[in-house]
């Protein structure tokens, strides 16, 4: 079990942030969890520690948003996600820590830029909805990035935010998507030796935060505007993304 206090200084807010996101507040901002933890441990270990915690969060979130998800979207997204998970599993042995840092950092930066660009466009003219067939691309990319670093939020958000869904439809549909994806990932993570006793012990120490974060997010979803929360966390996510991209490139050259 990890005992470094600096690890818990970033892991506790990272887990709570992921839980709040899964509770329907803040969209895909759980993407920030692995980048934050990767500041003190490898992103591969951070992802392994988080996975069992995410599976607990998923159960709480499914209960809070039961029956509100949109099945036609999921029928497109979920099969595509399995392709992405399979690709991630097959490439796992070829991805060094530096490559994973580079991927995680690039996803964090892309997600932040996507949010800021869409925010500016929303102030001018409405964007046309994507056809449902685009979900195949979004789902497969989300499956891969979720396998690597639990960062499937950006590609899923890029697709679903351009579908005719209200805020609750969006939150509930992403909750089901990632619940299925996370439980599927337990198989390759176990096969690849990621869920060892050290990582599981650390997960057990943090898992008490799972329902706290999800229930907090569900409470905020109904009562609080996303505006200020988004502004702070997206700025943090962008800064962490830059740091990880720098570290990843430095490790490759």
Mean pLDDT of 233-246: 77
> pLDDT tens digits for 139-186?
998 899 889 888 787 778 778 877 877 777 888 898 899 999 999 999
What are the CA-CA distances from residue 195 to residues 23, 152, 158, 238 (Å)? 25, 20, 30, 29
Global pTM value: 0.79
**67-72 contact pairs (CB < 8 A, 24+):** 68/168, 68/169, 68/171, 68/172, 69/169, 69/172, 69/173, 69/175, 69/176, 70/165, 70/169, 70/172, 70/173, 72/132
> pLDDT tens digits for 100-118?
778 877 877 887 787 777 7
Q: What is the CA radius of gyration of the chain?
A: 17
Task: Write down the pLDDT at residue 55.
Answer: 93
Task: Write down the pLDDT at residue 29.
Answer: 66
The helix (run of H) or strand (run of E) holding residue 178 is helix 167-191
Contact 194, 44 (CB under 8 A): yes
Question: Which pair of tokens denotes residue 91?
Answer: 């490439």
Q: How confident is the model at residue 123 (pLDDT cuts 50, 70, 90)?
A: low
Q: d(Cα 42, Cα 54) in Å, to the nearest integer?
A: 18
Which of 157 and 60 is assigned the larger pLDDT? 60
> pLDDT tens digits for 173-228?
988 999 999 999 999 999 999 999 999 999 999 999 988 988 888 888 777 765 66
> pLDDT tens digits for 4-41?
888 899 999 989 988 888 877 766 667 778 878 888 88
Task: Write down the pLDDT at residue 89.
Answer: 94
Task: Write down the pLDDT at residue 26.
Answer: 63
> pLDDT tens digits for 61-101?
898 888 888 898 899 999 999 999 999 999 888 887 788 77
Domain ranges (residues) in the chain: 5-252
Task: Write down the pLDDT at residue 18.
Answer: 85
């Amino acid at each position: 079990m990890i005992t470094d206090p600096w690890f818990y200084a970033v892991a506790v807010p990272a887990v709570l942030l992921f839980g709040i996101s899964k509770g329907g507040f803040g969209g895909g901002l759980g993407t920030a969890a692995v980048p934050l933890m990767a500041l003190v441990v490898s992103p591969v270990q951070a992802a392994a520690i988080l996975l069992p915690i995410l599976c607990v969060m998923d159960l709480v979130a499914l209960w809070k948003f039961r029956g509100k998800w949109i099945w036609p979207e999921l029928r497109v997204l979920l099969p595509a996600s399995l392709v992405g998970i399979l690709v991630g599993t097959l490439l796992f042995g070829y991805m060094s820590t530096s490559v994973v840092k580079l991927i995680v950092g690039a996803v964090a930066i892309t997600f932040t830029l996507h949010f800021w660009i869409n925010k500016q466009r929303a102030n001018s003219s409405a964007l046309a909805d994507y056809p449902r067939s685009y979900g195949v691309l979004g789902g497969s990319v989300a499956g891969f990035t979720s396998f690597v670093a639990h960062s499937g939020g950006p590609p899923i958000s890029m697709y679903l935010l351009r579908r005719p869904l209200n805020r609750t439809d969006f939150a509930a549909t992403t909750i089901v998507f990632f619940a299925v994806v996370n439980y599927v990932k337990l198989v390759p993570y176990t096969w690849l030796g990621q869920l060892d006793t050290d990582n599981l012990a650390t997960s057990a120490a943090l898992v008490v935060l799972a329902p706290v974060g999800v229930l907090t997010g569900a409470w905020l979803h109904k009562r609080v505007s996303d505006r200020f929360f988004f502004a702070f966390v997206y700025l943090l996510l962008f800064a962490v993304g830059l740091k990880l991209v720098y570290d990843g490139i430095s490790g490759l050259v």
